[in-house]
Structure 1
Amino acid sequence: MSAVSLFCLVFAYFALLLIVAWRTSRNATNDSFFIGNKSSNWKLVAFGMVGTTLSGVTFISVPGAVGRDGFGYAQVILGYVLGYVAVAYILLPLYYRLKLTSIYTYLDGRLGRRAYQSGAAFFILSRTLSASARLYLVVNILQLTILDSLGVPFWLTTLVILGMILLYTYEGGVKTIVWTDTLQTTGMVLGLLACAGWLLREMDLSPLASLAQMRDHDLTRWITSSVDSPAYFWKQVLAGFFIVLAMTGMDQEIMQKNISVKTLRDSQKNMLMLTLILTAVLLLFMFLGGLLTLYAPTVGIAAVGDKLFPAVVMGHMPALLQLIFFIGLVSALFPSADGAMTALTSTFCIDILGLQRRTDMAEPAKVRLRHHVHLAFCAIFLLLVLMFKWVDNASMVGLVLKLTGYTYGPLLGLFAFGILTGRAVRDRWVPLVALAGPALCYGIDVNQALLFGSYRLGLELLILNGCLVFAGLMLISKPATKAVHAVSSL
């Protein structure tokens, strides 16, 4: 398929998103933008959140990693399942009882204003870095496969795509994203199934026969028993558990959609359905990775990692499959940024600027301020994507997980301290503790050989970070008053 045809496809898809945005954002208010008027359908939220959770990193990097790691990612998936259950039955009841719009408001009542602002600030840093890294991965593939041949520079590609996302999130926010994410998840899953089916037909294999061949090539290995390895089974399971606890349960982008559902019971059903669908889709991504690894040598493809899937599609699949692949890829692109941009706008407006507490501003003025913040985050995304273009990294999934280990650790420590203890902190010291955790983690990470010998930290860096922040909060805490005990028991 020609680059021009694929280019037209991207814009046709975007036009469809704009139609959805127009229909869902009519008469939208700040309440619609932040929490969807508390009227989102839990089934739509659950299905749409699959696309937000997976993004372009999963679409490209998880299949590409199978040749190196086998099905080892299944260890992390097991931890994900346990984490989603914990979010559904520990954190969601807390958020609904307190009737939160921003989940970081909990930290204000429980620990203090500095803790509240520290949590919001680390979310802003975390989500800005990780969402822009995910966005870069997909934009770069679009650039290399379509737009380079048309003479379009990378910076212009990024600017236009972010402009598209800005247009359909500008008014409706969460109310719009619940529907657009559903459309995008559908496109992503269709792309996955179509490509897997074509590979099976080309190799004349049934699913069971392909699994047998993967086993013969040692691709189905999924348990790592070496304690020293970063991929050790229990490390990966615990890491998966805490990644979900921090990156879902303590993440405003994901929780913003959950608390837009009217009742706690429906929100919990949403989380459990998300767990089932997400697990199935992730297993299918690994299966696709096995098929790609088997197929590539038969046609002389030497590409590995993030380059494997696009190389097979663009070099050997027919035009229709290329079309479906790009639908899936673009479907992975937009959830990488639209929900993040909306959640970042919400967090900055509510938690940093205190927009909901401002009685001196009329509603139109608040809407204008929210628009300005939304535009500012769009500009920040543009700068970060251009920065990632200058960084040569073999696997963006590894980079994203590394970033989250440093930036979500303080959130994990803050929420764990608030929920698990009844102690009060000296609020003015909280920002220093929140910064000290990642700094200590970095020192430990770069000196692993000296500190641990052959043992290597992997994804459990997030857990270590959270524990260091928790310990620091204990050091600056004191027995709580009755009022604090009342908040911590909610």
Structure 2
Amino acid sequence: MSPITVAITIIAYFILLFTVSWLAGRKTDNQGFFLGGRKQPWFLVAIATMGSFLSGVTFVSVPGMVADKSFSYLQMVMGFVVGQFIIAFVLVPLFYKMNLVSVYQYLEDRFGARSHKTGAWFFFISKMLGASVRLFLVCLTLQLLVFEPFHLPFLLNVLVTVLLVWVYTYRGGVQSVIWTDVLKSLCLILSVVLCIVFISSELKLGFKGMLQSISNSSMSQVFFFDDVNDKRYFFKQFVAGIFTMIATTGLDQDMM
């Protein structure tokens, strides 16, 4: 795919993103900005949360892990599922019952203002670090596909990307972010499907042949029970997945 085609695709995507953001946030107030008005359809919030949790970093980096760790990451994903149930049946009802605007407000109500500020600062620092890594990986990809072929500097790439992200979120707050994250989630799913289709087509395998090739590969192993000292050991991955999900989603202001 030529750099011009990639650039046109990205521009069209952002135009659609800005349109969705404007339509979603044009009649928002303070409650809509911070809480989405507490009346967003649950299935939209679920799709948006999924896309926010996965992100483009997962799309770019996780497939490369298979070469070294096989499909062991799926053991952690199973833990994610258990963690989501704990969030849904323990944390979410608690936050709604207390009518919280911030999940860290619970810390203040329970333990005092100092714990509230500590939790909020840890959230802020972790989000800044995480967002920096995600932005860096996205900009590396854009630099390779678009900016470098046109001999444009990496700094310009970063500035343009940050500006575009800021523009589509600053007006509508959470209400806009939910709808734009739904769009991003659907685009992410579509991209995964298209990648599978094109890769299998280029390898002349077909869907059945692709599944057969994967099952015959040594990298397709999912479960690891043999060595307790192995990083891929099932219970390490599974339990880590549960607590990772609770910490990164259930106790995260951005997600909740």
TM-score normalised to the size of structure 1? 0.51
What one-letter code is carried by the residue in structure 1 that aligns with 2:244?
I
- Report how many aligned residue pairs link the two structures: 255
Question: What is the 5 A alignment of 1:147-296?
Answer: 147-225=147-225, 226-255=227-256
Runs of 4+ in 1 over 6 A off after TM superposition: none
User: Structure 2 CA distance, aligned partners of 1:26 and 1:216?
Assistant: 53
User: Structure 1 CA distance, aligned partners of 2:4 and 2:199?
Assistant: 26
Q: 1:106 to 1:35 in 2, by over 3 A?
A: same
User: Structure 2 CA distance, aligned partners of 1:6 and 1:185?
Assistant: 19
Cα shift at 1:195: 1.3
- 3-state SS, counterpart of residue 36 of structure 1: helix
What one-letter code is carried by the residue in structure 2 that aligns with 1:76?
M
- Report the aligned-residue RMSD: 1.3
What's the counterpart of residue 129 of structure 1?
A: 129
User: Structure 1 CA distance, aligned partners of 2:35 and 2:58?
Assistant: 27
What's the counterpart of residue 63 of structure 1?
A: 63
Unmatched tracts of structure 2, length 5 or more: none
User: Structure 2 CA distance, aligned partners of 1:26 and 1:116?
Assistant: 32
What one-letter code is carried by the residue in structure 2 that aligns with 1:248?
T
- 3-state SS, counterpart of residue 221 of structure 2: coil
Question: What is the 5 A alignment of 1:91-490?
Answer: 91-225=91-225, 226-255=227-256
Tell me if the contact between 2:72 and 2:224 (Cα under 8 Å) persists in the aligned partners: yes
1:71-104 per-position Cα deviation (integer Å, ceiling 9, x unaligned) = 1111111100100000001101110000001010
What's the counterpart of residue 265 of structure 1?
A: none
User: Structure 1 CA distance, aligned partners of 2:11 and 2:211?
Assistant: 38
What one-letter code is carried by the residue in structure 1 that aligns with 2:30?
N
1:439-474 per-position Cα deviation (integer Å, ceiling 9, x unaligned) = xxxxxxxxxxxxxxxxxxxxxxxxxxxxxxxxxxxx
What's the counterpart of residue 76 of structure 2?
A: 76
TM-score normalised to the size of structure 2? 0.95
Cα shift at 1:41: 1.0
Tell me if the contact between 1:56 and 1:135 (Cα under 8 Å) persists in the aligned partners: no
1:405-428 per-position Cα deviation (integer Å, ceiling 9, x unaligned) = xxxxxxxxxxxxxxxxxxxxxxxx
Cα shift at 1:206: 4.1
What's the counterpart of residue 48 of structure 2?
A: 48
User: Structure 1 CA distance, aligned partners of 2:3 and 2:208?
Assistant: 36
Unmatched tracts of structure 1, length 5 or more: 256-490
- 3-state SS, counterpart of residue 190 of structure 2: helix
Cα shift at 1:190: 0.8
Larger RCO of the pair (alpha carbons < 8 Å, separation 6+): 2
Tell me if the contact between 2:50 and 2:185 (Cα under 8 Å) persists in the aligned partners: yes
Cα shift at 1:4: 2.3
What one-letter code is carried by the residue in structure 1 that aligns with 2:217?
H
What one-letter code is carried by the residue in structure 2 that aligns with 1:177?
V
- 3-state SS, counterpart of residue 144 of structure 1: helix
Cα shift at 1:159: 0.8
Tell me if the contact between 2:6 and 2:145 (Cα under 8 Å) persists in the aligned partners: no
- Rg larger in 1 or in 2? 1
What's the counterpart of residue 33 of structure 1?
A: 33
What one-letter code is carried by the residue in structure 2 that aligns with 1:142?
L
Tell me if the contact between 2:81 and 2:242 (Cα under 8 Å) persists in the aligned partners: yes
Tell me if the contact between 1:25 and 1:172 (Cα under 8 Å) persists in the aligned partners: yes
- 3-state SS, counterpart of residue 8 of structure 1: helix
What's the counterpart of residue 17 of structure 2?
A: 17
Residue identity over aligned pairs, in percent, reads 38
